[in-house]
Structure 1
Amino acid sequence: MRKYRALPVALLAALALTACQDGTGTQDEGAAAKAESASSATAKAEETPGATGATDANSGTATGAKGGASGTATDAKGGNSRAAKPTDPADPANRVSCNGSNTTVTAKPVPRPLNHMLITVKNTGSKYCDLTYYPVLRFDEMQWVPRPIEDSQPQAVTTLAPGESGYAGVVLSAADGSGEHGRTSHKLTVGFQGRTPNSGGGPSALPKLPAKGVYYDSSLTVTYWLRDMDDALSY
């Protein structure tokens, strides 16, 4: 008979978490004064010889200023747009932990291999996110942590760019029927670990299970987070 691992208090707390400006611009007070000064200068120029050149010069200056302001606004807008997109994944400022608040999570049994389920996590945020270690699974109210498959540990942390997905494979039950305490579950909580093992990584996810539920026994194990779906289902 397999011995279940007691669920660390920190992970139980992590599993209980849930995924839980109006700015106004300032007006240039000197705008009216500047407009009045420009109008006065134009009037004076028209009263003196060479008024046409003075007027053209004044008009050219005003037009140039307007064009410059427009260009600055456009550049600023473009700069803000570029800043919202992550660039270097190695920069800590561009990376956060993947969890239930910045991803979508699905959990689906697969026909092959037998007794396997695939967990898919898609980064829906605007920054790179890290899937650290392995998912902490909890079917219904189970009080033990499914063991990770150590051979599946990748050489580097699985980092997802916005829109990318990561995977974990779950062995639900022993193919030869040697598992014990089998039962059918209708609820699954997927917990995320932080930068250190067994630490909380943020809100958990509650992916839907099939209406008929998912059968598992004491052989329940899970892979580390991986980038490739086929790799996740190869254990």
Structure 2
Amino acid sequence: MRTSRIRLIAATGAALAALALTACQEGTGLEDEGAGTSQPGATATADTPSGSAQDASASNKPSRAGNKDTGTGGEDTGSGGAGDKADGGANGSDDAPRARVTCDGSHTTVDAKPVPRPVNHMLITVENSGSRTCDLTYYPVLRFDEMQWVPQPVEASKPQAVVTLAPGETAYAGVLLSAADGSGDGGATAHKLTVAFQGATPNSDGGPSAVPALPADGVYYDSSMAVTYWQQSMDDALTY
């Protein structure tokens, strides 16, 4: 009995071995093992992290979009510089011609007073009371009361350049009221004086006039009355 059992076990083991060999030849065992095991190539692809060397290289590469934005910023800076330059031109020095205006009665303070020397003279003083530099062109156009004629300028007093007044500065004009020897005619005493300003061309309208106060007893004048061109100096205005 024992011998028969040993033979049965041996036969059974041989049969199992034969089945295993057949399965190996048909590849059934390898296929079953492959189903439960990942292939090396597949594992490398699936397990590769998003921050791989390739991704890191891409992230370290300069961004064209960033450079473009930076360039745009540079262009904006250039535009700002141009704007500053333009603003600087518009708000340039007060000495620039376009920054100056013609002096007139709206932004000046005018005073008129007779002086003891020279005799029969009056001094007109104009102060720039505005905020912009102004030009005093030619000479003041004077009119006493309802006078129908215009006093002539003293041509010898014509300055080399137009008198320019910065805010707060003053200029002058001298007026010969009457002839010292009494040779003038049509004498009268005036109680009102109108001082008109000239524009860029002779005898053109330079804007609002000024009406400075005269002494209470008035000012005497005759046909010999004459006026100097605007002067920067009081002494020059009273020389003629």
TM over 0.5: yes
Q: State the Cα distance separating 1:181 from its structure 2 match.
A: 0.7
Structure 2 CA distance for aligned equivalents of residues 90 and 145 of structure 1: 32
Q: How does 1:30-69 map to 2 (within 5 A)?
A: none
Matched, 1:181 2:159: no
Q: Which residue of 136, 139, 147 corresponds with 2:152? A: 147
Q: Which residue of 109, 114, 118 corresponds with 2:119? A: 114
Q: Which residue of 207, 210, 213 corresponds with 1:202? A: 207
Q: Considering Cα pairs closer than 8 Å and 6+ residues apart, tell me whether 1 or 2 has the greater RCO.
A: 1
Q: Which residue of 190, 195, 205 corresponds with 1:190? A: 195
2:138 corresponds to: 133
Q: State the Cα distance separating 1:205 from its structure 2 match.
A: 0.1
Aligned AA (1:233): L
1:96 corresponds to: 101
Structure 1, residues 124-173: CA drift from partner, whole Å, max 9, x if none? 11111000000000000111110000000000000001000010000000
Structure 1 CA distance for aligned equivalents of residues 95 and 162 of structure 2: 12
Structure 1, residues 101-141: CA drift from partner, whole Å, max 9, x if none? 01000000001100000000000111110000000000001
The answer (yes or no) to whether the contact 2:95–2:133 under 8 Å persists in 1 is no
Aligned AA (1:156): A
Using the size of structure 2 for normalisation, the TM-score is: 0.62
Q: How does 1:66-85 map to 2 (within 5 A)?
A: none
Structure 1 CA distance for aligned equivalents of residues 115 and 228 of structure 2: 15
Structure 2 CA distance for aligned equivalents of residues 143 and 181 of structure 1: 12
Q: Aligned-residue CA RMSD in angstroms?
A: 1.8
Structure 1 CA distance for aligned equivalents of residues 201 and 190 of structure 2: 29
1:232 corresponds to: 237
The answer (yes or no) to whether the contact 2:178–2:224 under 8 Å persists in 1 is yes
Structure 1 CA distance for aligned equivalents of residues 95 and 200 of structure 2: 15
The answer (yes or no) to whether the contact 2:188–2:220 under 8 Å persists in 1 is yes
1:172 corresponds to: 177
Structure 2 CA distance for aligned equivalents of residues 141 and 228 of structure 1: 30
Specify every segment of 5 or more residues in structure 1 that has no aligned partner in the other structure, as ranges: 1-81
Highest Rg: 1 or 2?
2
Q: Which residue of 201, 221, 226 corresponds with 1:216? A: 221
Using the size of structure 1 for normalisation, the TM-score is: 0.63
Answer 1 or 2: which has greater helix percent: 2
Percent identity among equivalent residues? 72
Q: State the Cα distance separating 1:90 from its structure 2 match.
A: 3.5
Q: State the Cα distance separating 1:94 from its structure 2 match.
A: 1.7
Structure 1 segments of 4+ aligned residues over 4 angstroms from their partners: none
Structure 2 CA distance for aligned equivalents of residues 227 and 175 of structure 1: 26
Aligned AA (1:107): A
Structure 2 CA distance for aligned equivalents of residues 142 and 228 of structure 1: 28
Aligned length: 153
Specify every segment of 5 or more residues in structure 2 that has no aligned partner in the other structure, as ranges: 1-87
Structure 1, residues 167-209: CA drift from partner, whole Å, max 9, x if none? 0000000001100011100000000000000100000000000
Matched, 1:124 2:129: yes
**SS of residue in 2 equivalent to 1:109:** strand
Q: State the Cα distance separating 1:89 from its structure 2 match.
A: 4.0
Aligned AA (1:152): S
